[in-house]
Structure 1
Amino acid sequence: MDIIDYLNRQGGAARASQLKKSGYTRAAVNQAVALGVVVKVRRGVYAVPGPGVLTSALAAGGRLTCLSAAPVYELWTLNTATFVHLCRSHPTSTPGVKDHGRPTHPRHAWLPVVGLADVLLHALHCLPELEALVMVQSAVGNGSISLEFLFEKCQGRRNGKVRSVLDLVIPRADSLLEVLANTYFVRAGLRVRRHVVIPGVGEVDFLIEECLVVETDGATHFEPRAVKKDQRRNNKSIVGGYLVLRYYYEDVVHSPDAMVAEVLAVLELRRRGVFPVGTATRQTRMRSF
């Protein structure tokens, strides 16, 4: 295998010891550096040219964790890391680097990244509440880690805030929009059911106060066929006696207060009799989520 291909498979960078074990001699590595197809990041660390977070980790003598490791494990995130989150044996003051405690769980098999358990535990102690929540939700939701395990690791009085984030994890969320919207609706004191199946409509994201369907739509809902399908679902929901609101990424992530205010306004109008009360609540059934 070409040394460039090897480095790319390793995430863009590798230690000299890894290269040697994989059969690349010192002469071959030096030749690649001389040709400019490989760069020497620091002593004993080589990478493909160009910036890369894994390269930064190796250059700083550490392993990625927290938000910086989220892409490796394909976790949901609200923001990209503005600095590199690392675990290092001997932390030093390094510009652009945030050091976390030493890892206590098995690390990634070949990349300079700590294990998923440490990534999430560091995120829970480091990131703002909702940023940590979406990372944990995606890992729990895809079965990579159990919520019970994380609770077990977060006992004690000092971990009260961390457990409050874990309390927000729901059994199923098909997107980060769902877990965020659920958090906002519940905190507004609303009665919320998730993934409710409405005859003739199908499964909806939320049924609030047994009368208002709320859908949270990601990028795929902008495709022409998806738009038509969603509009027809809206029509069937209304014919069935439900009110319907739809929200997108910008609404849920950047304007949650406005979203909740609209939901409350619609419910208030219904309470006042502006929208007639139908028989919708007798037509629904809920899956066990």
Structure 2
Amino acid sequence: MDIEAFLRRRGGVARTETLRRAGFARTRLDKAVAAGCIVRVRRGVYGLPNEAGVLGFALQHNALLTCLSAAPAYQLWTVEKAGVVHLSPGHRKAVPGTVTHGRILHPVHPWLPVAGLADVLIHAQHCLPVLEALVMVQCAAQRGDVTLEFLRSKLAGNRNARARAVLNHVIPRADSILEVLANYHFRNAGLHVRRHVELPGVGEVDFLIEDCLVVETDGATHLEAKQVKKDRTRNNATVIGGRLCLRFGYDDVVHHPERMVAQVLAVLEQSRQGAFSAT
């Protein structure tokens, strides 16, 4: 394996000792740098010219990525990409222009300059808005990478109450980030919500609200022609089966949740007033 392929498999950056253990001698590193195949990020750290990114930044400052900045390393769901780098520097001196997090208490990533998953999630619960932290925890928990019981045990006491509250919104199964967010907003509005309900002639629906309104959350795949046809058939079957149906896309759920909830409430109110009755 050449140096470039080795670095690419490790996120685009590595320490000199890691490269040497893999069989890359100093002369070979020097030749690769001279050829422009790799760059010397700082003393003892090498990376690919265009791929080191925040990983190289972390190594440059002898720190570990954590919180939102570490989400890509663990393939965690996120609402937004990290704008500011989140670091755990391991020393008192904060890195200017970054969000500084506390000590690392759990095993770190095996080869990347990234905090361990447990610390990443705990830092996120303390640092991020509820929904940002929730989707990261939801992703890790439903994959079985971490348990809610473990996280709760690490967040005891009154000072951790806000962080611990995030765990109350994790659901047993979510097929997408949109389901997590929509479920949070519907329940926060005081609605009776059932998820992944199997309806005769329709199949499994994302949400059944107040036992009369079906709500579906549509990701990018629902824009494909084959899926549009399938969704239309399911919508018709839902109405024939005696229930109403609303569909919301990414922009609705992520950027305009208040409008989404208002529309749900409006349909429910009209239903209570008999607006959809034949009489």
TM-score bracket, normalised by the shorter chain, equals: over 0.9
1:30 is aligned to 30
Establish whether residue 207 from structure 1 lines up as the match of residue 208 from structure 2. yes
In terms of mean alpha carbon deviation, does 239-248 or 24-33 score higher?
24-33
For residues 120-135 of structure 1, the aligned pairs below 5 Å read 120-135=121-136
Point out 4+ residue stretches in structure 1 off by more than 6 angstroms. none
Establish whether residue 245 from structure 1 lines up as the match of residue 246 from structure 2. yes
1:105 is aligned to 106
1:20 is aligned to 20
Residues 72-91 of structure 1 show CA distances to partners (whole Å, capped at 9, x for unaligned) of: 11110011111221122224
In terms of mean alpha carbon deviation, does 94-103 or 75-84 score higher?
94-103
Percent of pairs identical after alignment?
60
Assess if the C-alpha contact under 8 Å between 2:13 and 2:55 holds in 1.
yes
Give, as a single letter, the amino acid of the residue that structure 2 aligns with 1:79: E
2:231 is aligned to 230
Deviation at 1:113, TM superposition (A): 1.1
Give, as a single letter, the amino acid of the residue that structure 1 aligns with 2:34: A
For residues 136-175 of structure 1, the aligned pairs below 5 Å read 136-175=137-176
Specify every segment of 5 or more residues in structure 1 that has no aligned partner in the other structure, as ranges: 278-289
Give, as a single letter, the amino acid of the residue that structure 2 aligns with 1:67: L
Give, as a single letter, the amino acid of the residue that structure 2 aligns with 1:168: H
**SS of alignment partner, residue 169 of structure 2:** coil
**SS of alignment partner, residue 180 of structure 1:** helix
CA distance in 1 between partners of 2:37 and 2:75 (Å): 28
1:193 is aligned to 194
Deviation at 1:187, TM superposition (A): 1.1
CA distance in 2 between partners of 1:157 and 1:146 (Å): 21
Establish whether residue 2 from structure 1 lines up as the match of residue 2 from structure 2. yes
Deviation at 1:97, TM superposition (A): 2.2
Assess if the C-alpha contact under 8 Å between 2:89 and 2:95 holds in 1.
no
Establish whether residue 39 from structure 1 lines up as the match of residue 39 from structure 2. yes
2:77 is aligned to 76
CA distance in 2 between partners of 1:253 and 1:40 (Å): 40
Residues 175-232 of structure 1 show CA distances to partners (whole Å, capped at 9, x for unaligned) of: 1111111111111111111110001100000000000000001111111000010010
CA distance in 2 between partners of 1:17 and 1:83 (Å): 29
Residues 25-49 of structure 1 show CA distances to partners (whole Å, capped at 9, x for unaligned) of: 1111111111111111111111110
**SS of alignment partner, residue 167 of structure 1:** helix
CA distance in 2 between partners of 1:228 and 1:18 (Å): 52
Assess if the C-alpha contact under 8 Å between 1:91 and 1:99 holds in 2.
no
Deviation at 1:95, TM superposition (A): 3.0
Residues 118-156 of structure 1 show CA distances to partners (whole Å, capped at 9, x for unaligned) of: 110010011111100000011111111111111111110
Specify every segment of 5 or more residues in structure 2 that has no aligned partner in the other structure, as ranges: none
Give, as a single letter, the amino acid of the residue that structure 2 aligns with 1:266: V
CA distance in 2 between partners of 1:112 and 1:94 (Å): 15
Give, as a single letter, the amino acid of the residue that structure 2 aligns with 1:265: A
* Coordinate RMSD, CA, aligned: 1.2
CA distance in 2 between partners of 1:224 and 1:9 (Å): 36
2:93 is aligned to 92
Residues 82-124 of structure 1 show CA distances to partners (whole Å, capped at 9, x for unaligned) of: 1221122224242332221121111111111111111100100
1:285 is aligned to none
CA distance in 1 between partners of 2:84 and 2:188 (Å): 31
CA distance in 1 between partners of 2:158 and 2:103 (Å): 21
Assess if the C-alpha contact under 8 Å between 2:90 and 2:104 holds in 1.
no
CA distance in 1 between partners of 2:125 and 2:275 (Å): 44
